[in-house]
Structures are given as C-alpha cells and as structure tokens.
Amino acid sequence: MGGLAGLLPIILMFVLFYFLLIRPQQKRQKAVQQMQNDLQKGDKIVTIGGLHGFVDAIDEGQIVIKCGDGSRLTYDRAAVRDVVEKSKGTSLEK
C-alpha cells in the first residue's frame, strides 16, 4: 500500500498536465486545422507573417493570396493564421 501512496502524486501530476496543457493544445490545433481546410476563394485572411489579403486560388497544400496592389503571392495553407472575414455568401461560424 505504501508504494501506491508514493506513486499517487506523480499520477495526479500527469493527469493535471493532460487536462491543463495537452488537451487544450490539441483542441487549438484541431480548430486551426479545420479553419485552414475550410478556406474558400474570397476569404480575407492574415498569415503568420502578418500579410493581409484575400484568397485568390486554392490548391491542395497551397493558396494564392491577392494583396494590396493586385499582386498575387503563393503560400502554404499552414501559413494562414486567421480568417478575418469569410467570402460573401457564406457565414462565419463560431
């Protein structure tokens, strides 16, 4: 019985780490992945580098972003940090 009492604090610590650190991070990653998969042409986005623009074309792993003076830049989908505004005709669900 003494061995179990010695392991109890370590087990409790792992449970706390899971619920306070690991599980919320997994939920955030899943939400970001879903947002990147739901990108549509016309969405106003911000990249991880701070570039603001509109999605002009979508490929399987890349997107073309139209920005500022009409220039088009190609980025990986993973570089999209946030969708600021969904394209017209679709609603932004939260």
- For residue 94, tell me if it sits in a domain: no
Give pLDDT tens digits for 66-92: 998 889 999 999 999 999 999 876 544
How far is the C-alpha of 23 from the C-alpha of 58, rounded, in Å?
31
User: For the whole prediction, is pTM greater than 0.85?
Assistant: no
CATH number, domain of 7, equals: 2.30.30.30
Average pLDDT, the chain: 89
Cβ contacts of residue 94 below 8 Å, gap of 6+? none
Residues of the chain with pLDDT under 70: 1-2, 89-94
For 51, other C-beta atoms within 10 Å of its C-beta total 16
For residue 80, what are the domain limits?
Answer: 2-85
Beta-carbon-side half-sphere exposure of residue 70 (alpha carbons within 13 Å): 0
Q: What does the pLDDT read at residue 94?
A: 40
- For residue 52, tell me if it sits in a domain: yes
- For residue 43, tell me if it sits in a domain: yes
User: Per the structure, how many domains does the chain have?
Assistant: 1
Q: What does the pLDDT read at residue 43?
A: 94
